[in-house]
């Protein structure tokens, strides 16, 4: 089993079909993609890299990302995709941990040599061009034999606490993820196009697999990042795009469409499908997104350990406004994707009845093989045949999963559980509030107290008193924040996730400064 089969198949079927675009310009046909990946694979093999070796990919989004990835798989190597925003010292730690000898980089993120690598190739250099230059027809370069359980992708978790862990994903894991896309997320035709706005080192890049399987077009924005105006223009030029975006990016696209006065038809010309996930999408935000951009959304819930595959909330469910529990459903993350089983469990792994909150467990062919060289962490995450996700949630009688929070973000105040997300959902409906993040902070009286960090809409004003009134009108008294901190922006990682650990640290610093003043 190899992910390369899908590329060979397309390159044989339609070698001249446009495959990769850089901005609106074609970068490679399927035949050219296969030829370059095969050439690089051949040279990697010639240089003595052995199947199973790890190779660093530390790149900003770029068309070469795809050529390099498939070359690595062609040669039986394991890609180690690293977030382009990481500091070189963090990347060097990963290089050492993964024992990578070779690395492919873009010079903007790795301007100097990374310690630990024997060979560092800037994908925009003459060196890279020479390595990728086809020397023989692609189908004369043998594809390294790989078993379904062999590693394809060693993905380092964002590691908000402690060192990141390498999630071991196999060819079977990624094949499962790719095939499931068509069943649970969105059908794909050859004239469809996916745009890589979010980092390709993460889920957005993995969606190259189903789009390659379908022979669709792959588009990397010229900016290499997220610029709503650029993305809309690309969509208009190339035809409705699909994309994976974290909720914060979705909100920016929606805001752009609103400001530009684009109607549903104009949004449909730019975007076929926007898959959102990776962080909570608040009810108020998805309602606004649907109202502004129309029915072009699908939600997925997954994690690095079961990439893009745990649940999905379909376009049809998001459109079923007549359903008596419509609002609950669109605030959920949907139902189990086809290849996995889902369980909400107590601490012993026993299934809890509908409505009860427990840890979300997942099992199936998308679930990782374990953490790289971390038997203890693996044993903690993979127990009794299930992946313990660390997410808390509850199922309804129809199988819709509503996520509460990560277990580590749960606030216990005065002995009661408070799910930050519930408080955030309420505060987001208060006039003038643009974004909010709720965390717990140590409190002598209550154990933990609820804190809200609030970003206001441009030009809006509000007071802690009026936010408090808003909360009192909508939720139990004990859940409402004890403190509000107005901020210009929330700290987020490269994938758009709010960094709650950073907020807790920020609050502690404020509290320390206040006590020093006293
Ligand atoms: P990562 O491994 O970095 O992809 O992070 C995965 C985590 O993001 C999950 O364990 C969830 O806590 C969160 N997450 C992913 N998808 C969703 C979603 N659709 N809604 C809410 N949280 C999500």
Q: Tell me how far the alpha carbon of residue 346 is from its chain's centroid.
A: 27
Residue 515, classed as helix, strand or coil, is helix
Nearest ligand 1 atom, CA 313 = 19
Residue 384 burial (CB count, 10 A) = 10
Pocket test for ligand 1, best of 85, 314, 403 (most atoms within 8 A of CB): 403
The protein residue with its alpha carbon nearest to ligand 1, atom 23, reads 279
Q: Which residues pair with 387 in a beta bridge?
A: 362, 382
Q: Is 5 in the pocket of ligand 1 (CB under 6 A)?
A: no
Helix axes of 30-46 and 4-13: crossing angle, nearest 10 degrees: 140
Nearest ligand 1 atom, CA 310 = 16
- Return d(Cα 147, Cα 175) in angstroms, integer: 12
Q: Tell how far the Cα of 278 is from the centroid of ligand 1, in angstroms.
A: 4
Residue 26, classed as helix, strand or coil, is strand
Q: Tell how far the Cα of 279 is from the centroid of ligand 1, in angstroms.
A: 5
- Return d(Cα 412, Cα 442) in angstroms, integer: 10
Q: Is 158 in the pocket of ligand 1 (CB under 6 A)?
A: yes
Percentage of the chain lying above the pLDDT 90 cut: 84
Nearest ligand 1 atom, CA 495 = 3
Q: Which two tokens stand for residue 272?
A: 């076929």
Q: Is 389 in the pocket of ligand 1 (CB under 6 A)?
A: yes
pTM beyond 0.85, yes or no: yes
The 10s digit of each residue's pLDDT in 301-360 is: 999 999 999 999 999 999 999 999 999 999 999 999 999 999 999 999 999 999 999 999
Comparing 86-90, 94-98, 196-200, 324-328, the range with the smallest average pLDDT is: 86-90
Cα atoms in the 13 Å half-sphere on the side-chain side of 67: 33
The protein residue with its alpha carbon nearest to ligand 1, atom 10, reads 303
The 10s digit of each residue's pLDDT in 463-493 is: 999 999 999 998 888 899 999 999 999 998 8
The residues, any chain, with a CB within 8 Å of residue 7's CB and separated by 6 or more, are 30, 33, 34, 37, 70, 212
- For the chain, what is the mean pLDDT? 94
Nearest ligand 1 atom, CA 403 = 21
First-to-last C-alpha distance (Å) of the chain: 66
The protein residue with its alpha carbon nearest to ligand 1, atom 4, reads 303
The 10s digit of each residue's pLDDT in 124-167 is: 999 999 999 999 999 999 999 999 999 999 999 865 456 789 99
- Return d(Cα 467, Cα 432) in angstroms, integer: 10
The protein residue with its alpha carbon nearest to ligand 1, atom 15, reads 278
Q: Is 247 in the pocket of ligand 1 (CB under 6 A)?
A: no
- Return d(Cα 467, Cα 450) in angstroms, integer: 13
Closest of 138, 134, 109 to residue 122, by C-alpha: 109
């Amino acid at each position: 089993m190899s992910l390369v089969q899908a590329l060979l198949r397309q390159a044989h079927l339609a070698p001249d079909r446009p495959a990769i675009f850089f901005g609106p310009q074609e970068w490679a046909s399927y035949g050219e993609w296969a030829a370059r990946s095969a050439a690089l694979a051949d040279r990697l093999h010639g240089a003595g890299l052995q199947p199973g070796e790890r190779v660093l990919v530390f790149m900003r989004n770029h068309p070469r990302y795809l050529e390099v990835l498939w070359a690595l798989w062609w040669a039986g190597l394991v890609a180690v995709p690293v977030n382009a925003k990481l500091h070189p010292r963090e990347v060097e730690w990963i290089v050492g941990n993964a024992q990578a000898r070779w690395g492919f980089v873009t010079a903007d993120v790795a301007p100097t040599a990374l310690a630990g690598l024997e060979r560092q190739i800037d994908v925009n250099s003459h060196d890279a061009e020479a390595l990728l230059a086809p020397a023989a027809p692609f189908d004369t370069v043998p594809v390294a034999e790989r078993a379904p359980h062999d590693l394809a992708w060693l993905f380092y978790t964002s590691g908000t606490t402690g060192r990141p862990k390498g999630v071991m994903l196999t060819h079977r894991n990624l094949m499962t993820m790719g095939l499931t896309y068509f069943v649970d997320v969105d059908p794909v035709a050859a004239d469809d196009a996916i745009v890589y706005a979010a980092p390709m080192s993460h889920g957005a890049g993995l969606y190259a697999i189903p789009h390659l399987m379908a022979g669709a077009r792959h588009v990397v924005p010229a900016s290499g990042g997220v610029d709503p105006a650029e993305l809309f223009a690309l969509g208009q030029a190339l035809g409705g795009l699909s994309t994976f975006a974290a909720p914060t990016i979705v909100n920016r696209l929606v805001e752009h469409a609103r400001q530009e006065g684009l109607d549903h038809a104009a949004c449909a010309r730019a975007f076929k499908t926007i898959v959102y996930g990776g962080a909570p999408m608040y009810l108020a935000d998805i309602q606004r997104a649907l109202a502004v951009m129309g029915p072009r959304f699908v939600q997925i819930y997954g994690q690095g350990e079961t990439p893009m595959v745990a649940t999905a909330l379909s376009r049809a469910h998001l459109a079923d406004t007549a359903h008596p529990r419509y609002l609950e459903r669109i605030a959920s993350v949907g139902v189990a994707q086809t290849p996995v089983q889902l369980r909400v469990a107590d601490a012993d792994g026993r299934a809890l009845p509908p409505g009860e909150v427990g840890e979300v467990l997942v099992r199936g062919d998308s679930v990782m093989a374990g953490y790289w060289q971390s038997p203890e962490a693996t044993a903690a995450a993979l127990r009794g045949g299930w992946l313990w996700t660390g997410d808390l949630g509850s199922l309804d009688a129809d199988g819709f999963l509503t996520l509460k929070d990560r277990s580590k973000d749960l606030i216990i105040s005065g002995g009661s559980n408070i799910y930050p997300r519930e408080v955030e959902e309420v505060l987001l409906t208060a006039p003038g509030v643009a974004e909010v993040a709720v965390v717990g902070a140590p409190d002598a009286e209550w154990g933990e107290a609820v804190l809200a960090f609030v970003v206001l809409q441009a030009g809006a004003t509000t007071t802690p008193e009026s936010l408090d009134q808003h909360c009192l009108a909508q939720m139990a008294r004990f859940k409402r924040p004890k403190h509000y901190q107005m901020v210009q922006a929330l700290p987020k990682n490269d994938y758009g996730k709010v960094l709650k650990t950073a907020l807790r640290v920020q609050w502690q610093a404020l509290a320390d400064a206040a006590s020093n003043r006293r």
